[in-house]
Structures are given as C-alpha cells and as structure tokens.
C-alpha cells in the first residue's frame, strides 16, 4: 500500500469521524425537539445506543469497502480525531444546518402525525357518542323493565313468605 492511499484512507476515516459526530449530535437534537412526554425522549438512551451500534457497523463496512476489512491501529484514532474536529470546528455550523433540517422536516412530520392521531380520536369519539345516543333509549327501557320485573319478583317472594 502506497503512502498516498494510506493518506486518502486516513482522510476518509477522519471524515467519517466528523460524520459520526454530526449524526450523534443530530439524533440528540431530534430527540430533544420532541415534546417532554414523548416516548422517544423516554427511550433516548436506547435510541442513542442503537445509533452508536449502527454507526459502528457502518464504520466496519467503510473499512471493509476501503481496505478490504483490514483494520489498522490509526483507524479508530483517526475517527476519534474526526469527532474532536467536529466538536472543535464544525459543530456550530453543522448544528445550525441540523436545526434547519429538523425544523423543515421533523417538526412538520411530528405535527402531521399528532394531527392525524387527534383526528382519528375525534372520529372514534363521535362514533361512540352516536352509538351511545342510539342505545340510550333501549338501556332506559331495559333498566325500567328490569327494575319493575325484579320489584314484582320481590313482592311475590315476600307475599309467599307471608302465607
């Protein structure tokens, strides 16, 4: 392997570290842009752990694609250096870009999902109210008849004991 190939691979690993930092930061931004009571926020640790596992798998795939699966000691160091570069230099700009993307895509998506759920709930509540309105007279008639029937039964039972 020639030096220019190694340098190219080193640059790719540093760029993948920057991408990892951006993805983790974006996942945190997306999770914290949800309402405080959302299930996504409650499961944030699991979501972030799954994200780290997926990023580790993608890093291995990148190594496999780039170097036929050969792992060198400087590869994780280059990726960690990329994460530090992201933290030091690129975080403010890329976080701004991520916030714009979240506001353009995630929040409208979340709003549409909540709107659809609210509409479905209202339709179901309306249907339940209509069914209850239709059934109410029958329930009243049943309760009246059952009350008078049981009252007669008690009266007959009481009179039977008296005789």
Q: What is the pLDDT of residue 20?
A: 95
Percentage above 90 pLDDT, the chain: 52
Residue 40 and residue 114 in contact, taking contact as beta carbons nearer than 8 Å: no
Q: What is the pLDDT of residue 154?
A: 65
pLDDT, tens only, 77-112: 999 999 999 999 999 999 999 899 888 988 899 899
Cα separation, 117 vs 149, in Å, equals 45
Cα separation, 30 vs 34, in Å, equals 7
Given the structure tokens 């993948």, which residue do they identify?
A: 16
Query: 4-10: which pairs have CB atoms within 8 A and are 24 or more residues apart?
Result: 9/66, 9/67, 10/74, 10/78
Rg (CA), the chain: 33
Confidence of residue 64 (pLDDT cuts 50, 70, 90): confident
Q: Does residue 147 surpass a pLDDT of 80? A: no
Residue 135 gets the label, from left (phi > 0), alpha (psi -120 to 50) or beta, of: alpha
Using the CB atoms, write b or e for 8-35: b if 16+ within 10 Å: ebbebbbebbbbbbbbbbbbbebbebbe
**pTM of the predicted model as reported, rounded to 2 decimal places:** 0.69
pLDDT, tens only, 15-38: 999 999 999 999 998 888 888 888
Q: Does residue 53 surpass a pLDDT of 90? A: yes
Cα separation, 55 vs 57, in Å, equals 5
Q: Does residue 156 surpass a pLDDT of 90? A: no
């Amino acid at each position: 392997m020639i030096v220019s190939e190694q340098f190219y691979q080193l640059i790719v690993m540093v760029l993948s570290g920057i991408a990892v930092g951006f993805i983790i930061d974006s996942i945190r931004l997306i999770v914290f842009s949800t309402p405080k009571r959302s299930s996504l926020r409650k499961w944030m640790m699991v979501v972030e752990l799954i994200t780290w596992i997926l990023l580790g798998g993608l890093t291995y795939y990148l190594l496999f694609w780039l170097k036929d699966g050969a792992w060198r000691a400087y590869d994780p160091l280059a990726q960690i250096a990329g994460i530090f570069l992201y933290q030091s230099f690129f975080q403010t700009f890329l976080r701004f870009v991520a916030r714009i993307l979240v506001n353009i895509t995630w929040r409208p998506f979340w709003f549409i999902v909540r709107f659809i759920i609210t509409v479905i709930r209202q339709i179901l509540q309306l249907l339940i109210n209509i069914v209850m309105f239709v059934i109410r007279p029958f329930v009243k008639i049943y309760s009246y008849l059952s009350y008078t029937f049981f009252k007669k039964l008690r009266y007959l039972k009481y009179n039977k004991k008296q005789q």
